[in-house]
Amino acid sequence: MATWAFLGATLSKGLNRACATLSAGALGCGAHHLARLFGAKGQPIVLGLIVFLLSATLSKGLNRACATLSAGALGCGAHHLARLFGAKGQPIVLGLIVFLLRNCECTLSQVTIKQSKTGEVVQQKPVWSVTINNGCLCSQSDLKLSCNGFQTVKVVDPSVLSKSGNECLVNNGVPVAPSSSLSFTYAWDTSFSFQLLSSQINCS
């Protein structure tokens, strides 16, 4: 299990780096072609503006303007990059770029929670098995669920799910590896609807 987890994490980091490299290359190419549209005099000004806006994003300023400009430059760069592969290769390269960029994104919503009855009974209450899966390419730590009203007559492994107030902490806050799952069981009359609250996404 440890070997597969390590392999999955390694492949995930490799794909993340590929996404970052591809995005940076396409963004740089797009910025260059976008700046060329403004002629010899306007080109350095536009490039300077792009660099300024990207820097502003790193400091959490002018986010919308920068995101719009970055998306435009990235799209322009992807288009020109794909053109280098000719008419037959262009749609393939564009499709690959779109696929990689989509999989570079990582959100809390990529964590899924599934439940099913095990067939066991504890104190005349059915036992439910819960599987939490991180479908993201990055690990997610400090994963918290809403546990308001959660009850069980079967002790839940606290290393997997620990309840504090109306919140439950998954895996003691330790990162849940990419494409990996955690499971626990509890016993109650009906299944409890666990809701995702928050997590810390780690894509380094």
DSSP string, 178-189: TTEEEEEEEE-S
- Are 100 and 112 part of one and the same domain? no
Residues 120 and 194 in one domain: yes
Same domain membership, residue 50 and residue 128: no
Residues 114 and 99 grouped into a single domain? no
Query: Which single residue is written with the structure tokens 């799910």?
Result: 161
Answer yes or no: do 139 and 92 share one domain.
no
Residue 179 belongs to domain spanning = 108-202
Q: What's the half-sphere exposure (Cβ side, CA atoms, 13 Å) at 192?
A: 22
**pLDDT value of residue 204:** 63
Same domain, 8 and 81: yes
End-of-domain residue from the set 72, 87, 104: 104
Give the total number of structural domains in the chain: 2
Q: Of 38, 70, 104, which closes a domain?
A: 104
Query: Domain boundary at 57, 81, 104, which?
Result: 104
pLDDT at 147: 94
Q: How far is CA 92 from CA 66, 88, 97, 104, 190, in A?
A: 28, 8, 9, 18, 49
- List residues bridging with 181 in a β-sheet: 133
| Judgement on whether residues 168 and 90 belong to the same structural domain of the protein | no
pLDDT number for residue 66: 45
The per-residue pLDDT for range 109-162, each reduced to its tens digit, is: 899 999 999 999 999 999 999 999 999 888 999 999 999 999 999 999 999 999
Residues 93, 17 share a domain:
yes
* pLDDT for position 47: 61
**Residue type present at position 74:** L
The CATH number covering residue 140 comes to 2.60.40
Residues 97, 114, single domain; the answer is no
Same domain, 129 and 75: no
Model-level pTM? 0.55
CA–CA separation, 112 vs 119, rounded Å?
A: 22
Please give the distance of CA 70 from its chain centroid, rounded to a whole number: 19
Residues of the chain with pLDDT under 70: 1-35, 41-84, 88-90, 93-105, 204
Same domain for 189 and 161: yes
Q: Are residues 151 and 116 in the same domain?
A: yes
Q: Give the count of beta carbons closer than 10 Å to the beta carbon of residue 31.
A: 23
Phi-psi region of 37 (alpha: psi -120 to 50; beta: other; left: phi over 0): alpha
